[in-house]
Amino acid sequence: MEELLADAGEMADAPSNIFSMFNNADIKFPEIKDENGEEVQITHGRYIRLLESTDRRVRQEAFQGFYAAYRSFKNTLAASFSSNVKQEVFFAKARKYPSTLAMALDGGNIPVEVYTNLIAAVHDHMDLMYRYVELRKKLLGIKELHMYDLYTPLVTDVHMEVPFEEAKKIVAKGLEPLGEEYHGILEEGFHNRWIDVYENENKRSGAYSWGAYGTHPYVLLNYNNTLDNVFTLAHEMGHAIHSYYSDHVQPYIYAGYKIFVAEVASTCNEALLIDYMLKNTEDKKEKAYLINHFLDKFKGTLFRQTMFAEFEMITHRMVEEGESLTAENLCKIYHDLNVLYFGKNVIIDPEIDMEWARIPHFYTAFYVYQYATGYSAAIALSRRILKEGKPAVEDYVHFLSGGSSDYPIELLKGAGVDMSTKEPVNQALSLFSELLDQMESILE
Of the candidate spans 67-75, 129-137, 170-178, 264-272, the one that interacts with Zn ion by CB under 5 A turns out to be: 264-272
Q: Is 134 a catalytic residue?
A: no
Of the candidate spans 76-84, 188-196, 266-274, 304-312, the one that interacts with Zn ion by CB under 5 A turns out to be: 266-274
Q: Determine if 301 is a binding residue for Zn ion (CB under 5 A).
A: no
62: nearest Cα among 360, 351, 361? 351
Q: Determine if 266 is a binding residue for Zn ion (CB under 5 A).
A: yes
- Rounded least distance, CB 239 to Zn ion, Å: 6
Interatomic CA distance for residues 81 and 177, integer angstroms: 46
- Rounded least distance, CB 361 to Zn ion, Å: 16
Say if CB 55 and CB 151 are below 8 A apart. no
- Rounded least distance, CB 180 to Zn ion, Å: 25
Count of alpha carbons within 13 angstroms of residue 435, beta-carbon side: 27
Q: Determine if 209 is a binding residue for Zn ion (CB under 5 A).
A: no
Of the candidate spans 31-39, 130-138, 258-266, 335-343, the one that interacts with Zn ion by CB under 5 A turns out to be: 258-266
- Rounded least distance, CB 265 to Zn ion, Å: 9
- The residue among 104 and 264 lying less far from Zn ion, judged by its C-beta, is 264
Q: Determine if 232 is a binding residue for Zn ion (CB under 5 A).
A: no
Residue number with the smallest Cβ distance to Zn ion: 266
Q: What are phi and psi of 358, to 5 degrees?
A: -120, 10
Q: What are phi and psi of 155, to 5 degrees?
A: -120, 120
- Rounded least distance, CB 242 to Zn ion, Å: 10
- The residue among 266 and 306 lying less far from Zn ion, judged by its C-beta, is 266
Residue type present at position 365? A
Q: Determine if 243 is a binding residue for Zn ion (CB under 5 A).
A: no
- The residue among 286 and 296 lying less far from Zn ion, judged by its C-beta, is 296
- The residue among 261 and 333 lying less far from Zn ion, judged by its C-beta, is 261
Of the candidate spans 38-46, 259-267, 303-311, 347-355, the one that interacts with Zn ion by CB under 5 A turns out to be: 259-267
Catalytic residue among 88, 236, 270, 310: 236
Say if CB 351 and CB 63 are below 8 A apart. yes
- The residue among 129 and 272 lying less far from Zn ion, judged by its C-beta, is 272
Say if CB 312 and CB 365 are below 8 A apart. yes
- The residue among 87 and 266 lying less far from Zn ion, judged by its C-beta, is 266
- Rounded least distance, CB 257 to Zn ion, Å: 12
Catalytic residues: 236
Provide the binding-site residues for Zn ion, judged by CB under 5 A. Answer: 266
